[in-house]
Amino acid sequence: MTLSCKHVLITGASSGIGRELATLFARDGYALVLVARDLAVLGRIGEELTRVYGVAVHVIAQDLSRPNAVAEIYHELKRLSIQIDVLINNAGFGTYGAFADADPAIELDMLQLNIAALTQLTRFFLKDMLAKGEGRILNVASTAAFQPGPLMAVYYASKAYVLSFSEALANELRDSGVTVSTLCPGPTQTGFRRRARMEHSRLFDWGVMDAATVAAIGYHGLMRGKTVIIPGLKNRLLALIVRFAPRRFVTATVRMLQDKTSAVLPS
């Protein structure tokens, strides 16, 4: 096993974009700290990455919707003398349906994960990066961050927070040696659609990128210090168009895309 002088912490590392980012960092020799809820899955991923790339992997099973989870992660790594050089805030989930019909407990968990945990992780590890004079942070938002999202109102708003927070922080940290990047993917082939119960939404009928491609674009943008990273030409064009189109038209268009169609995901 090779010992890397640099560690990356990746949340939501058990599948999708987080899993693909773990592979990219392992390939480049980073020691990994992988965080997700399922210890068994993380363990298998860690063993595979160690076997293939010879890197050290530390796994932490935590549910980041728990308010105390972030502090527990930070103090565990301090106890192990593991200093994080790159932070990837990838964990997040969405809910689908009218706000008035939503389960308040689930939506509060989503806000805790998508906003509060991301903010807390950034605060904890940013202080150590600033003390060292270098570091990288990648916060995963979404193209949802650029406009309101009827039928996913809270999710879209949470991703708007991630983008706004990250862009402001990137400006504050200019010339500090620490960069903050935001990855804003469009529909991506991950477990997100099923968890959000969007099987019948039209949104995913307009083209879906694979997680490996999105992760590679995010990885290279992060390493270049790019502030906002939007994978895919179509997604970049859509993010540009919504800046100039009338707000009511944009919101109505998103509602049309979010509405249900007769299509059903294969079992």
Question: What are the DSSP calls for 220-245, one per residue?
Answer: HHHHTT-SEE--SHHHHHHHHHHHHS
Instruction: Report the run of H or E that residue 161 belongs to, with start and end.
Output: helix 153-172
DSSP code at position 207: -
State the pLDDT at residue 30.
Answer: 97
The model's pTM is: 0.89
Model confidence at 261, in pLDDT bands (50, 70, 90)? low
Q: Which amino acid is at 88?
A: I
Phi, psi (deg, nearest 5) at residue 132 = -85, -20
d(CA 195, CA 193): 6
Neighbouring residues of 161: CB distance < 8 A, sequence distance ≥ 6: 114, 115
Q: Is the pLDDT of residue 170 over 60?
A: yes
Q: How many CB atoms lie within 10 A of CB 266?
A: 4
DSSP code at position 260: B
d(CA 163, CA 245): 20
d(CA 170, CA 173): 5
Tokens, residue 247: 């707000």
Neighbouring residues of 71: CB distance < 8 A, sequence distance ≥ 6: 120, 124
Secondary-structure class of domain 7-258 per CATH: alpha beta
d(CA 110, CA 65): 7
State the pLDDT at residue 235.
Answer: 87
Q: How far is CA 216 from the centre of its chain?
A: 14
Q: Which residues pair with 138 in a beta bridge?
A: 88, 181
Give residue-wise pLDDT tens across range 28-51: 999 999 999 999 999 999 999 999
Give residue-wise pLDDT tens across range 152-165: 999 999 999 999 99
CA count, 13 A, side-chain hemisphere, 77: 26
State the pLDDT at residue 255.
Answer: 87
Residues with a catalytic annotation lie at 155
Model confidence at 205, in pLDDT bands (50, 70, 90)? low
The torsion defined by the Cα of 181, 182, 188 and 190, in degrees rounded to 10, comes to 80
Tokens, residue 178: 């620490």
* Cβ pair 6, 86 in contact under 8 A: yes
* Cβ pair 77, 35 in contact under 8 A: no
Q: Is the pLDDT of residue 148 over 70?
A: yes
| H helical segments located in 54-152 | 69-79, 104-111, 118-132
d(CA 112, CA 120): 10
